[in-house]
Structure 1
Amino acid sequence: MQSRREFLSAGLATASLFALPVSAWGAPGRTPEPLRILILGGTGFLGPHFVEAARARGHRLTLFNRGKSNPTRFDGAEFADIEQLRGDRKSDLSALEGEREWDAVLDTSAYVPADVTRSAGLLAPRAKHYQIISTVSVYARNDVANDEDSPLAQLDDPAVTEVTGETYGGLKALCERAAEAAMPGRVTVVRPGLIVGPGDPTDRFTYWPARANRGGEILAPGSAADPTQFIDVRDLAAFMLHLIEGGTVGVFNADAPAGALTMGALLASCQAAATRANTINCVRAPCPQPPGHASTLTWVPADFLAAQAVSPWQDMPVWIPAEGDYAGFGRTRTERAQRAGLRHRPLDETVADALAWWRSLPEERQAGLKAGLSAEREAEVLAAWHARETVSEA
């Protein structure tokens, strides 16, 4: 999986591929009759949260996937109500052939437009609604606050099939276009920002609550006022289901409201969550160190981090300086999604639940964060920053 910074770094030309209208074939807000929902994928990170939300509402679910990512995720008598089909959207859709019908198809695994054309084309006569999960990385520019009608990325070679930092956004845009071509007027495009919360396999958000949990001096990037954006996976899943239940079609940026989140608020929430979690543990058992694993934040300017080869997003997750080519970072417009029913839980809840999930993982997994600076590298950069400050004061 590519980092968001790599996605945003793609030097892709400006172009608007298409625009979908916003309309509905159902009645949003009511408790629906059980729907037949086909999920392409469904066992990764977002998929299980959607499955949980849909089952809680009584919908009848069919999962179609290769059985390679978490293949036993829905095994057992508890999940006997879920139909699971095996196949490959690139080479074997035979399990989806026939006369069966679905009220909606949720495509969580669309990366190459030919795959979307193949699946949506096959299902078009037998499905009312096709929802495709895209990304805010589809936009051609990142120096502006994009809304759903902003120009989309365009690939120099639309036939490319390799997903890289340079092709990801353009391919996703073509996937959106392929879905609409196969099922005109019946497509919902959901463009999330960074998806975070319990179960995230990338650690691109979890780095911060995990880092606060370790305690000590924390290298904080830029300034506390720097904007950021992300969405709790459970809020995203609930919104996706809400759109399906209402039969709402159109394009929606699914992210935090622009300007609602800052790095300062995020890191303060992480510190508070770590303090609460460790204090509870000390109440339950003898505590080998002071409660809370006390931590402090040292804010280091972006130019110094750049000189130290500390990269935004990958080394310092969730953060990109909102300037220059990335002046629009943290400001993606989401008003359309808010009007359509997107709701967000409190930041403290997302952080606390992410930390609780992280602490439940095996020790070897906790020792191998997939994003962010290592403890050793963080100490080196902090030492260099303090040395510079000492020289400046002298």
Structure 2
Amino acid sequence: MTMTRRQFAGTSLAAAGAAALTRKGRPSPVRAGRLLILGGTGFIGPHMVRHALERGHEVTLFNRGRTNPGLFPGVETLIGDRDGALDALRGSEWDYVIDNSGYVPRLVRDSANLLRDSVGRYLFTSTGSVYDFDRDELPEDARLLEVTDPDSEDVGRYYGPLKVMCEEAVQEIFGDRGTIARLHVVAGPGDPTDRFTYWPVRIHHGDEVIAPGDMDNPVQFIDVRDLAEFNMHLLEQDTGGIFNVAGPTLDETRMDEFLYGIRAVTTSRVSFTWVDEDFLANREPPARYPLWYSQNGPARALARVRSHRGVEAGLKFRPLAVTARETLDWFLGESEERRRQLQLNLERDARILAAWSRRGRADT
């Protein structure tokens, strides 16, 4: 009987337990595999492509060819659209697929159904936004958001519930050949959101920096390189299940550790002033800072995502200093137009600091 590519991948990867270790302590793949990435040219995709190529895998991209076309000239790219134009995926087989572009359950179901018999393992990139945040912590079995409008495809309004249904589609179609990675805020070079990037850039700018809330508030994010390496590791080891992917360590990182850790990678003269959470909330408009979540409100668990299952499966974290320095270096090398997109709100913060100082003098 002739084995399909999927069957061969399953048997060979099942025997990979004693494989040689890489310098990072992860087993090397038994052989180069064929990897299909749905998307692949946005923020997280290119890091996954580069890591897979470094590991010796043969990569194919499937996308519309609109975002960063030509980014990987040596990589096969299939042009199509998840909404009704999947024909380019027919007739080929891959050992694994990473789905980075699935937001609408109907479209995820279409691609998963088409690839069911031509792919060994399907890794779906999900989000921590599937959870109900109003609890003290978020392990993988925490309560998920209720799907109140299953017929809607309004991603802006129902991002989390739609991702819940996307996960369900992958699990239903691929069963134990499906893997779900629920990401936290993703940081690192290339990040278009500036949620993490704000802090190295602001601290590098120097002077007096507002440190919001309490020093012991937890902070979480995941370096995009750690994410890429973990995803490829899950595929190479044929690991199924659901995994939170949140760092920068397994134990909680306090806000003061986070800020002082970033300061250590710059030579700027900077000081931190801790400003009370209520004081910031009562500004008009309220002053908000990236990666800071009140531990007194309904979103408190956003900073207490548990990644123990991922660490047991091979998730590793690079040091905060490395992420901060390399993200800052990347950002400073971007065009002036791009750098201007990050709003430091220096004038706003100066007004807040002045008001905070006046309050302090009034209390003495």
- State whether residues 116 and 175 of structure 1, in contact with CA within 8 Å, keep that contact through their aligned partners in structure 2: yes
Instruction: Quote the residue 1:90 is aligned against.
Output: 83
Q: In structure 2, what is the Cα distance between the partners aligned to 1:107 and 1:215? A: 40
Instruction: Quote the residue 2:16 is aligned against.
Output: 27
Amino acid across the alignment from 1:154: E
**Which one of 248, 262, 286 corresponds to residue 254 of structure 2?**
262
Q: 1:360 to 1:94 in 2, by over 3 A?
A: same
Instruction: Quote the residue 2:23 is aligned against.
Output: none
Q: 1:309 to 1:244 in 2, by over 3 A?
A: farther
Q: In structure 2, what is the Cα distance between the partners aligned to 1:38 and 1:327? A: 36
Q: 1:224: how far off?
A: 1.9
- Aligned Cα RMSD in Å? 1.6
Instruction: Quote the residue 2:297 is aligned against.
Output: 324
Does structure 1 residue 47 correspond to structure 2 residue 45? yes
Q: 1:144: how far off?
A: 2.4
Q: In structure 1, what is the Cα distance between the partners aligned to 2:318 and 2:301? A: 24
Does structure 1 residue 348 correspond to structure 2 residue 321? yes
Amino acid across the alignment from 2:77: Q
Does structure 1 residue 333 correspond to structure 2 residue 322? no
Amino acid across the alignment from 2:16: A
**Which one of 365, 380, 383 corresponds to residue 338 of structure 2?**
365
**Which one of 337, 348, 355 corresponds to residue 377 of structure 1?**
348
Q: 1:347 to 1:365 in 2, by over 3 A?
A: same
- State whether residues 110 and 116 of structure 1, in contact with CA within 8 Å, keep that contact through their aligned partners in structure 2: yes
Q: In structure 2, what is the Cα distance between the partners aligned to 1:72 and 1:311? A: 42
Q: 1:187: how far off?
A: 0.2
Instruction: Quote the residue 2:9 is aligned against.
Output: none
- State whether residues 217 and 254 of structure 2, in contact with CA within 8 Å, keep that contact through their aligned partners in structure 1: yes
Q: 1:140 to 1:295 in 2, by over 3 A?
A: same
More deviation, 319-328/354-363 = 319-328
Amino acid across the alignment from 2:102: A
Q: 1:26: how far off?
A: 5.9
User: What are the superposed Cα offsets for residues 59-87 of structure 1, whole Å, 9 maximum, x if unpaired?
Assistant: 00000011122223223xxxx2x101111
Alignment of 1:279-298 (within 5 A): 292=268, 294-298=269-273
Q: In structure 1, what is the Cα distance between the partners aligned to 2:189 and 2:334? A: 11
Instruction: Quote the residue 1:68 is aligned against.
Output: 66
Paired residues, what number? 342
Q: 1:30 to 1:271 in 2, by over 3 A?
A: closer
**Aligned sequence identity (%):** 43
Q: In structure 1, what is the Cα distance between the partners aligned to 2:357 and 2:341? A: 27
- State whether residues 262 and 320 of structure 2, in contact with CA within 8 Å, keep that contact through their aligned partners in structure 1: no
More deviation, 47-56/355-364 = 355-364
User: What are the superposed Cα offsets for residues 218-252 of structure 1, whole Å, 9 maximum, x if unpaired?
Assistant: 11111221101111100010000000001111000
Q: 1:272: how far off?
A: 1.9
Instruction: Quote the residue 1:301 is aligned against.
Output: 276
User: What are the superposed Cα offsets for residues 278-299 of structure 1, whole Å, 9 maximum, x if unpaired?
Assistant: xxxxxxxxxxxxxx3x111111
Alignment of 1:131-142 (within 5 A): 131-142=123-134
Q: 1:266: how far off?
A: 1.6
Q: In structure 2, what is the Cα distance between the partners aligned to 1:328 and 1:258? A: 15
Q: In structure 2, what is the Cα distance between the partners aligned to 1:311 and 1:27? A: 53
Q: Secondary structure at the match of 1:180?
A: helix
Does structure 1 residue 115 correspond to structure 2 residue 104? no
Q: Which runs of 5+ in 2 are unaligned?
A: 1-12, 18-26
Q: In structure 1, what is the Cα distance between the partners aligned to 2:134 and 2:232? A: 29
Amino acid across the alignment from 1:57: R
Does structure 1 residue 247 correspond to structure 2 residue 238? yes
Does structure 1 residue 390 correspond to structure 2 residue 361? yes
Instruction: Quote the residue 1:281 is aligned against.
Output: none
Q: 1:135 to 1:69 in 2, by over 3 A?
A: same
Q: In structure 2, what is the Cα distance between the partners aligned to 1:324 and 1:33? A: 49
Q: 1:389: how far off?
A: 1.5
Amino acid across the alignment from 2:131: Y
Q: 1:309 to 1:109 in 2, by over 3 A?
A: farther
Instruction: Quote the residue 1:201 is aligned against.
Output: 192
More deviation, 340-349/216-225 = 216-225
Q: 1:388: how far off?
A: 1.5
- State whether residues 95 and 121 of structure 2, in contact with CA within 8 Å, keep that contact through their aligned partners in structure 1: yes
Q: 1:362 to 1:33 in 2, by over 3 A?
A: same
Amino acid across the alignment from 1:355: L
Amino acid across the alignment from 1:27: A
Q: 1:309: how far off?
A: 4.2
Instruction: Quote the residue 1:181 is aligned against.
Output: 172
Amino acid across the alignment from 2:299: Y
Q: Which runs of 5+ in 1 are unaligned?
A: 1-23, 276-291
Q: Secondary structure at the match of 2:81?
A: coil
Amino acid across the alignment from 2:360: E
- TM-score of the superposed pair, with normalisation by structure 2: 0.90
* Higher RCO (C-alpha under 8 Å, 6+ residues apart): 1
Q: In structure 2, what is the Cα distance between the partners aligned to 1:368 and 1:180? A: 39
Q: In structure 2, what is the Cα distance between the partners aligned to 1:306 and 1:274? A: 29
Does structure 1 residue 216 correspond to structure 2 residue 207? yes
Q: 1:115: how far off?
A: 0.8
- State whether residues 192 and 253 of structure 1, in contact with CA within 8 Å, keep that contact through their aligned partners in structure 2: yes
Q: 1:390: how far off?
A: 2.0
